Amino acid sequence: MKKILYPVAAVIVILIGYLALPPLFSAAPEIPTVPVEKGDFSISVRTTGSVDAKQAYTITTPRIRGLQITWLAPEGSIVEEGDTIVKFDSSEQLAELEEYKLKLKIANKSLERQRQEYVIQEKQLRLDLQKAERNYNEKRHEAPKLAEEAKLELELARLNSEVKLEQIKADIEKAELEVQQAREKVNQSQRELNQMTLTAPIPGMVVYLEIWKGGTRGKVQEGDSPWPGQGLINLPNLNDMIVETTVSEVDAAQVDSGQTAVVTLDAFPDDKFDGMVYNKSTLARRKERGSQIKVFDIKINILEKDERIKPGMSASCDIIAERFSDVVHVPLEAVFEKDGKPVVYLENKEKRVVEVGRRNDKDIEIVSGLEGGERICLLDPTLEEYGLPGEKATEPEMNKPGVSQRGNKGGRKRANGL
């Protein structure tokens, strides 16, 4: 019997130990808690967009054919107003300028000779006319035939003087026109030469643009021969940055110029930047081609200056539509629905029925039931199985969009509690 009882007893002891040890060594899951906040609470509209400069200038190729880029300011470099950013090959313009300067010099010489010729001819013709007049005065009382000849000679001298002087004046005017045309050519050539060096009209950062190169597009570079008028460099002024974004037509009524905003850059998620709405489009547009969603374009000034903020960065913005003070509020996931009523669970797992009010995308107002400062559970402690610590609990029906609450009809307003 002993040989039989001992093995049976050992099996029973092992079985009891197997069943009893897990409860002894396993701990109940820890329920995460948060404090009930009382303070500022805001209703906002969240939107996403991209950063751009409020003021930007596009540097374009001069309206001159056959240009070739010989130098570019480094992309990403910061330039001041008047700094050189693009240079073109100017050898042709230099040669042309020298040629036109020579032609202008020749034209000026020709004009000077014509003016001197006019002075000489005028004096000679005046002398010839005086001789003819004196001859006529001497012979007009002599024989009629001699007087008639003297008179004809005087008239001929007068006509000759008038014709030659008019001719010389015409030659002078022609020479002056040639000088003017030659000077215009010189000025035009000088302007073209000046355009071989492009400078920054505003301070900003050099951003290369893409151009067509033999059927493909690529960023502009030294050696390229761009078309006249083609954009080469975008020059955003980094001293004044904005976020260009949109809001749906449903939320558009809540957004207007002058409202404050909190801007968060995807590149620096831990940093917040103050902003202000300064422009809202008058008319809605389709969000995308073929889409039925209508949006309004919004521009938000980033009020703080930070060298890290660059054009093209992705950003999210919380546009503050309403702001309240001394509001008791808790995270949305801390409110549960029991028997059709909203409840919270205190740190000691006591159930507390509450009245909820306004909400945003993170928190919900507690109108009554909590005073602020208590700690409440983020998970329902009455459930037998819990989610992992920190996992967001399922939102009760009163927290879901589309359910009317006090001060927040339809759940359309979204915001950040501050």
Among 162, 190, 218, give the residue marking a domain's end. Answer: 190
User: Is residue 143 over pLDDT 80?
Assistant: no
**pLDDT tens digits for 256-304?**
999 999 999 999 999 999 999 999 999 999 988 888 899 999 999 999 9
Residue 392 binned pLDDT confidence (cut-offs 50, 70, 90)? very low
The amino acid at residue 114 is Q
User: What does the DSSP assignment read for 168-226?
Assistant: HHHHHHHHHHHHHHHHHHHHHHHHHHHTTEEE-SS-EE-EEPEEEETTEEEE--TT--P
* In a shared domain, residues 37 and 154: no
Mean pLDDT of 81-109: 96
- At 400 the pLDDT is 46
- At 291 the pLDDT is 86
Among 208, 236, 264, give the residue marking a domain's end. Answer: 236
CATH at 263? 2.40.30.170
- At 139 the pLDDT is 74
Mean pLDDT of 312-325: 93
What does pTM read for this prediction?
0.60
User: Is residue 81 over pLDDT 90?
Assistant: yes
> Per DSSP, what are the bridge partners of residue 329?
37, 365
**pLDDT tens digits for 235-264?**
999 989 999 999 999 999 999 999 999 999
* In a shared domain, residues 136 and 70: no
The better pLDDT of the pair 24, 282 is held by 282
Mean pLDDT of 406-412: 39
Q: Quick check: is 74 in a domain? A: yes
Q: Quick check: is 4 in a domain? A: no
* In a shared domain, residues 213 and 97: no
Mean pLDDT of 390-411: 42
Is 186 within 8 Å of 98 (Cβ atoms)?
no
* In a shared domain, residues 263 and 371: yes
Structural domains of the chain, count: 3
User: Is residue 95 over pLDDT 90?
Assistant: yes
* In a shared domain, residues 77 and 216: yes
CATH at 83? 2.40.50.100
Residue 391 binned pLDDT confidence (cut-offs 50, 70, 90)? very low
What is the extent of the structural domain holding 308?
33-52+240-411
- At 17 the pLDDT is 56
Q: Quick check: is 15 in a domain? A: no
Among 176, 207, 236, give the residue marking a domain's end. Answer: 236
List C-alpha distances in Å: 353 to 99, 236, 341, 367, 407: 95, 55, 7, 11, 20
- At 385 the pLDDT is 53
d(CA 345, CA 375) in angstroms, rounded, equals 9
Length of the chain equals 418
The better pLDDT of the pair 317, 398 is held by 317
Mean pLDDT of 220-241: 94
* In a shared domain, residues 369 and 230: no
* In a shared domain, residues 71 and 202: yes
Given 3-state DSSP classes, what are the helix, strand and coil percentages for the chain, each rounded to the nearest 5? 35, 35, 35
Q: Quick check: is 26 in a domain? A: no
Q: Quick check: is 171 in a domain? A: yes
Q: Quick check: is 11 in a domain? A: no
Structure tokens at 208: 């290369």
d(CA 65, CA 88) in angstroms, rounded, equals 12
Query: Among 151-165, 169-183, 349-363, whose mean pLDDT is lowest?
Result: 151-165
* In a shared domain, residues 281 and 395: yes
d(CA 199, CA 214) in angstroms, rounded, equals 27
Is 107 within 8 Å of 179 (Cβ atoms)?
yes
* In a shared domain, residues 177 and 260: no
Other Cβ atoms less than 10 A from the Cβ of 110: the count is 17
**Average pLDDT, rounded, for the chain:** 85
Query: Among 10-24, 280-294, 304-318, 359-373, whose mean pLDDT is lowest?
Result: 10-24
* In a shared domain, residues 359 and 290: yes
Q: Quick check: is 19 in a domain? A: no
Q: What is the DSSP letter of 418?
A: -
User: Is residue 380 over pLDDT 70?
Assistant: yes
Residue 69 binned pLDDT confidence (cut-offs 50, 70, 90)? very high
* In a shared domain, residues 314 and 332: yes
Q: Quick check: is 61 in a domain? A: yes
* In a shared domain, residues 175 and 146: yes
Mean pLDDT of 167-189: 93
- At 154 the pLDDT is 75
